[in-house]
Amino acid sequence: MPTQAEIFKKVSATLVEALNVDHEEIQPTSTLQGDLGAESIDFLDIVFRLEREFGIKIPRNELFPESIFQGDPEFVLNGKVTEKGLKELREKMPFADIGKFERNPDMTAISDLFTVDMIAKYIEGKLGSKA
Amino acid sequence: MRWIWIDRFVKFERGKSARAVKKLSLAEDYFQQHMPGYPIMPACFILEGLAQTGGILVGEANDFKEKVVLAKITSAKFHREAVAGETLLYDTEIVTLRPEGASIVGKVYTLAPGQSIGEPVNPPMAEAEIFFAHLDKSRSQQLFGDLNFVFSGELKHLLGLAKVAAQRTDGAT
């Protein structure tokens, strides 16, 4: 199994290709949309590339869940993710660092969960479970 | 002018690769303006031809049931210009094909003087990576119903045209 550093390097190279950004711009905490300018279609491109790069299968909605809460009022109330919503988030995205988000669970900030580090952690989990 | 940027398929391997040919005639409208006195094919039209070749390859892989739309040109390089009178070969290959979409790599070649259509001999004059999305089934059903507006007519007929041409060639030999 590759080391964490090797995985991060490959994930960075994938993002350089998919998003046409410079290597220097990519930090573990960089958010895909805010910092690296990813658009919705780029997420699918990134998934395709990660599958090829790491030889894994990434089921639809696993790495980048679309509309996690489906407008369910139990999960989102007045623009804030509820306690139940946060629980759902932890279950669906165990590889995401939701610590910061939990302190101010504003729906508009949910895209900040999608970071370079989140992808690397997801891949680590995938490769670990494959062995 | 109709929005068809390839003349004919000359090679087609289902789900894998396709090659199409496009002859550039000086009579085509865009050469009058691009550029006056120096007729070169606009690079975006070269990409369109490559995308049509690849898009039909992707669409046919699912029996034209998906609405295949060009979502992103990840990279495109143009090494030289294509001028009126040349023949372009569009070579495309599927890299990834999934229920949500597909990606292809494509290379554009020009035929050397006197060369008949076959394997390219010159280095590519352009190359690109193109990403297609399958329109979300439930959403596109609401908007367009069952009609597949992508492959409703001419684009799909191109494959039939290729078959007719191939039969003629077979008959002649």
pLDDT tens digit string along A75-124?
A: 888 888 999 999 989 998 999 999 889 998 998 888 899 999 999 999 99
Q: Is the pLDDT of residue B171 over 60?
A: no
Q: Which tokens go with B28?
A: 């085509």
Number of domains in chain A: 2
**What pLDDT score was predicted for residue A72?**
80
Residue of B nearest to A21 (CA): B74
State the number of CA atoms in the 13 A half-sphere of B37 facing the CB: 0
Q: How confident is the model at residue B50 (pLDDT cuts 50, 70, 90)?
A: very high
C-alpha–C-alpha distance, residues A5 and B101, integer Å: 30
Q: Which domain holds residue A5?
A: 1-62+114-131
Q: Which amino acid is at A3?
A: T
Range scoring the smallest mean pLDDT among A9-18, A76-85, B27-36, B69-78: A76-85
Q: Which residues have a Cβ under 8 Å from the Cβ of B144 and sit 6 or more positions away?
A: B67
**What pLDDT score was predicted for residue A55?**
94
Measure B136 CA to nearest chain A CA, in Å: 12
Same domain, A91 and A69: yes
Q: How confident is the model at residue B141 (pLDDT cuts 50, 70, 90)?
A: low
Residues of B with CB under 8 A from a CB of A: 71-72, 74-75, 95-96, 98-101, 103, 131, 133
Same domain, A39 and A24: yes
Same domain, A49 and A77: no
Interval A27-72: pLDDT, tens: 999 999 999 999 988 999 999 999 999 999 999 889 998 777 776 8
Interface of A with B in 1-30 (CB under 8 A): 17-18, 20
A-chain residues near B138 (CB < 8 A): none
**What pLDDT score was predicted for residue B24?**
95
Same domain, A130 and A75: no
Same domain, A39 and A75: no
Same domain, A58 and A69: no
Interval B94-116: pLDDT, tens: 999 999 899 999 999 998 777 88
Q: Is the pLDDT of residue B159 over 90?
A: no
Same domain, A15 and A47: yes
Contact of A130 with chain B, judged by CB distance below 8 Å, is answered with no
The answer to whether B101 contacts A44, with C-beta atoms less than 8 Å apart, is yes
Residue of B nearest to A61 (CA): B100
- The answer to whether domain B8-153 has CATH 3.10.129.10 is yes
Q: How confident is the model at residue B170 (pLDDT cuts 50, 70, 90)?
A: low
What is the average pLDDT score of chain B? 88
Q: Which residues have a Cβ under 8 Å from the Cβ of B135 and sit 6 or more positions away?
A: B66, B67, B69
Same domain, A53 and A76: no
Same domain, A99 and A125: no
Same domain, A4 and A52: yes
Cβ–Cβ under 8 Å, residues B54 and B18: yes
Q: Which is it for strands B87-98 and B17-23: parallel, antiparallel or unpaired?
A: antiparallel
DSSP 3-state of B161? helix
Same domain, A31 and A70: no
Same domain, A2 and A52: yes
Q: How confident is the model at residue A131 (pLDDT cuts 50, 70, 90)?
A: very low
What is the average pLDDT score of chain A? 90
Instruction: Identify whether B34 is a catalytic site residue.
Output: yes
Helix segments in A20-59, DSSP class H: 40-54
